[in-house]
Chain A
Amino acid sequence: MSLIEYYPGHTFIHRLDPRVKILALLLTTTAIFISENFLVIGVICLTVFTLWLAARLPVRVLGRYFKLLLGLFTFVIIMQGLFLGGPTALVKPVIPAAVPLIGGLGRLSLEGVVFGILLSLRLIVLVALMPLVTMTTPIHLFALGLVRLGLPYRIAYTATTAINLIPTLEKEAAAIIAAQKMRGFTVFERGNFGQKLRAYPTLVVPLIIGAMRKAQLMGVAMDARAFGYSTRRTYVEDIKMTAGDRLVLAGVIGYNLAILVANFVL
């Protein structure tokens, strides 16, 4: 299961106006990028995970994605440690500082490592935040939300179609990998990094050609149903901002303001 596919439910998060959810996503994402304080990030983390539970989303799936990202986190932490610099050294330089140009390389600073951890935490929150919108909102309502927020319909439609097609492409990729496996191709299971890199054409070429064929067919099918004929579209299922929605929006704005203030104060 991917983190963007709609996960049906009837919780209050599922029922929220898509506009509120999109705005909340934008505001909170900004707040996360501004935050440089562990306590603040920790609070956001806690909020996001509480909301996951409230929306009854499958936490197990999230865990699987984190496992996949573990390598990236390690990389970020080590790179920041090596290159950010800072007064406290965790590991002494491998190359003495006296060597020109590359001198001092290999020194791991505490400040860098801490900043790396902060970046990783931000990433964790971001990865967990997005599904709270995408997994709780049917794609057509998501598109409608974008349109009501002022995005032209064509762009909203393009964006949501792209999101919609990700699971399809994932399935396609799985089918391609299976097909190549049946021809004795084992690089994706057993090969090393270099072999995998060189093996990508076997996966990417059929995937892209298939996607282009599909796009062409889709364009014809849309034209055949008069896509873009009228500038004034109507929608089968409309959205309406209720008093409850407004209240939640006010709460979201208040929450993010509080984060902003906390960043300055702490």
Chain B
Amino acid sequence: MAASLIPKEGEGMAAKAIEIRGLTYVYEAGIVALRNINLSIQRNEFAGIIGQNGAGKSTLLKNITGLFKPTAGNVMVEGIDTRSTTVAELATRVGLVLQNPDHQLFAATVEEEVAFGPRNLGLEPAEVAARVEAALEGVGLLHLRREFPPALSKGDRARVVIASVLAMRPHIIILDEPTSGQDYRGCCQIMDLARELHRSGHTVIVVTHQMHLVAEYTERTIVLCQGEVLMDDTTRRVFSQPERLRRTHITPPQVTMLGLELAPLLGLPEAVLRVPELGDAVLSHLISHSK
């Protein structure tokens, strides 16, 4: 994934990747799924969105990709109002990796599947081929390019979908529960891929129920609760408030909880998010006390 694909600062791009102002979304049946959401996501952020089932996560994503238009308020993607444009046009700016990969796999080969998006954009065959190559390389699936997508393993099917989104070359990539149904190794591989995308200059948003992944990978965490933003802060600060998170039945990762318990003893200045962090703190505590 070449970093040159990402437009540079001041190239006529809005500074904010996503800007949401007063977004309310009401379903046809009258159910209020989102209530007055205000969010702004800067370029090249790596954010996590968490919340219970029914908190409004998927509805929010559909509003960002333009599949839903706001009932009230505005959603701006790279400075473009989603109401004034089409889903297809937005797809070149923001790519959504769906929860269920099987909802979009239809082609006879992995290669064809990935080429579908770029072809819809009306690109030259050479450009399409180059994008397919780069996207498949990015997710490590070049060796499976001639396989029938539905016959692949679940992890590989998820990768095909990520590749098909990458081939659209969006700046913003949203992964909707990319790790559901994956084993631990599969989870880490997909999240590592997300981190790599972030490092290459993409804005990455991950929606997940696995708190340890949010803690391990993201810089910022947005907590949704009953259609509203309950918390929006650095991941460290969000997870250092377990009482507030309990309101939406979320528990920080075990290592964070253990760290909070041990904080008075170890004199930790802030919450820990990863196992090595706590390990280091315990070790330095032991060393300083053994003297």
Residues of A within 8 A of B (CB): 172, 175-176, 178-186, 201-206, 209-210, 213
Contact = CB atoms under 8 A, between A and B. Distances in A.
Nearest to A201: B106
Interface stretch (B87-95, B221-229, B263-271): B87-95
Contacts of A181: 67, 87-88, 91
Contacts of B87: 178, 181-182
Contacts of A172: 103
Given A184-B88, A184-B121, A205 B106 contact: yes
B168 interface: yes
Top 8 A-B residue pairs of the complex, sorted by shortest distance between their CB atoms: A184-B120, A183-B117, A179-B104, A205-B106, A184-B88, A181-B87, A179-B103, A202-B106
Nearest to A178: B67
Contacts of A201: 106
B210 interface: no
B103 A176 contact: yes
B120 A185 contact: yes
Contact of B86 (A178, A179, A186, A204): A186
Interface of B: 62, 65, 67, 86-88, 91-92, 95-96, 98, 100, 102-106, 116-117, 120-121, 150, 164-165, 168
6 contacts: A178-B62, A182-B91, A182-B95, A184-B168, A210-B103, A213-B102
A183 B120 contact: yes
A112 B98 CA distance: 51
A23 to B, nearest CB: 34
A185 B116 contact: yes
B158 to A, nearest CB: 13
B288 to A, nearest CB: 54
A205 B87 CA distance: 22
Q: Tell me if A's interface is mostly helix, strand, loop or mixed.
A: helix
A182 B106 contact: no
Given A179-B98, A209-B150, A184 B106 contact: no
A204 to B, nearest CB: 8
A209 B152 CA distance: 13
B167 to A, nearest CB: 9
A171 B165 CA distance: 22
Contacts of B92: 184
A206 B103 contact: yes
A172 B88 CA distance: 20
Contacts of B62: 178
A210 B92 CA distance: 27
A204 B105 CA distance: 10
A182 B105 contact: no
Contact of B168 (A183, A202, A206): A183
Contacts of A203: 106
A210 B102 contact: yes
Contacts of A205: 105-106
B88 A186 contact: yes
B114 to A, nearest CB: 10
Given A201-B106, A205-B106, 17 more contacts: A178-B62, A178-B87, A179-B98, A179-B104, A181-B87, A181-B88, A182-B67, A183-B104, A183-B164, A184-B88, A184-B120, A185-B88, A185-B117, A186-B88, A202-B116, A204-B106, A213-B102
A208 to B, nearest CB: 10
Nearest to A210: B102
Contact of A182 (B96, B100, B102): B96
A210 B102 CA distance: 7
A179 B165 CA distance: 10
Nearest to B65: A182
A175 B103 contact: yes
Nearest to A184: B120
Contacts of A178: 62, 67, 87
B124 to A, nearest CB: 15
B99 to A, nearest CB: 9
A147 to B, nearest CB: 33
B120 A206 contact: no
Nearest to A206: B106
Nearest to A200: B106
Contacts of B95: 182
B91 A184 contact: yes
A1 to B, nearest CB: 9
Contact of B91 (A175, A183, A213): A183
B271 to A, nearest CB: 36
Contacts of B105: 205-206, 209
